[in-house]
Amino acid sequence: MKLLTINSDPNAGGSTISLLHLLAGLKAKGADLLVVIPSTGFCSKQLEKLRIPYRINPYIILNVWPSLKCADDIWKFFPRLIRNGIYSVLAYSRLAKTVKEYRPDLIHSNNSLIEIGFRFSHRHGIPHVWHIREYGDRDFRLKYFPSARRQQKHLAESHTIPITEHLARHFNLDKKYRVIYNGICSTADVFYDPNKENYFLYVGAVNENKGVTDMISAYVEYCNPANDDKLVVIGRYNDEYLLQLKKLIADTSAESRVLFLGQTENPYRYMQKAKAMIVPSKCEGFGRITAEAMFNGCLVIGRNTGGTKEQFDNGLALTGKEIGLRFSSTQELVNALQQVDDYSETEKELIIKDAQKTVKTFYTIENNIEQTYEFLAECQIPTRVGIQQIG
């Protein structure tokens, strides 16, 4: 199997980490791999450690309309639209050279927001596999270019791997797809430290789409002199949004107890000691951070939507009990924070153990690699139709 993978994120995002785990496993199974990325960074460094070759295609962009989130975006809209069109042509041309040199059996796009791999595959008769890791609209407020309807049509014409059942329903997939959950841990590995510290934890991008404003508002209401729990926030943020959050906690009991730590290379050590992880995202495609927290022996408080809900539902179906605390509103999140304080240590440990059982059942790296390899093998064809015509 010669697999060419296109990844749009050179940084340490969840989709990139999931891809790296997958590629390491596919390589171990004998697959011949080549990765195309837009720039060097975390992804390229990890690929070098894995001894997986890669090519830089700096013109890879997401197939979405330019942003219109602020006044500055309005006058930049048409220049950005023109730039995107030019980049699309240049990215296609450079990809053609890579394919002619590498001659893959399959082209794999690591998220549903990259269209160049599909366009090239469709034109030259090479099987294409689309990994659907996000909603696009519900989680990132992005609009597919030129329309969501055309994107759904293209997905229907490809082989697809949605990472949750909910994503498959969202895109109305009815054939040529297989739901394969992300791989979070090895079958034999789980971690549990009963000696927790007095802080709640958030890990992820610090922005409105991730529900961080709701989380801060709930924590402000939860804080009082009777408790001394802190809120540790780990992840990238911009200064403007951080200022908004600091205004929410100003002159409240929470002001000195919310710690914005930025990014860290090892969030697992914070998960292992936290009272609970809060996952307030409006709609996660999968919720990798949810499964990682459970794997690390951390109680999870999660919004009852998207991939987070599906993980909770899987746990409930498997164990017959809730494996975390669900919420659908800011007030319900306040109640969940208080509920964690009311649990005995034994009650919390039982929930965590059921959550870890769920992770080991559904989200192991071994399952992810085996299922993906089998699906890719079904998708590939023995002849490379059209490659000889690429110029």
E-assigned strand segments in the chain: 2-6, 32-37, 54-56, 106-109, 128-132, 159-162, 199-203, 230-234, 258-262, 276-279, 300-303, 325-327
pLDDT in tens, the chain (391 residues): 999 999 999 998 889 999 999 999 999 999 999 999 999 999 999 999 999 999 999 999 999 999 998 888 999 999 999 999 999 999 999 999 999 999 999 999 999 999 999 999 999 999 999 999 999 998 888 999 999 999 999 999 999 999 999 999 999 998 889 999 999 988 777 789 999 999 999 999 999 999 999 999 999 999 987 888 999 999 999 999 999 999 999 999 999 999 999 988 889 999 999 999 999 999 999 999 999 999 999 999 999 999 999 999 999 999 999 999 999 999 999 999 999 999 999 999 999 999 999 999 999 999 999 999 999 999 986 444 444 455 4
- The burial class, CB within 10 Å (0-12 / 13-18 / 19+), for 137 is middle
Q: How crowded is residue 343: how many other Cβ atoms within 10 Å of its Cβ?
A: 16
123 vs 386: CA distance, rounded Å: 8
| 100 Cβ contact list (under 8 Å, min separation 6) | 387, 390, 391
262 vs 326: CA distance, rounded Å: 26
Q: Quick one: angle between helices 14-28 and 288-295, nearest 10?
A: 70
pLDDT value, residue 132:
97
pLDDT value, residue 224:
84
Q: How crowded is residue 240: how many other Cβ atoms within 10 Å of its Cβ?
A: 8
pLDDT value, residue 381:
62
Backbone angles phi, psi at 244, to 5 degrees: -60, -45
Residue pair 245/254 in contact by the 8 Å Cβ criterion? no
Q: How crowded is residue 202: how many other Cβ atoms within 10 Å of its Cβ?
A: 26
Tell me the β-bridge partners of 231. Answer: 200, 258
Which of 161, 111, 115, 158 minimizes the C-alpha distance to 134? 111
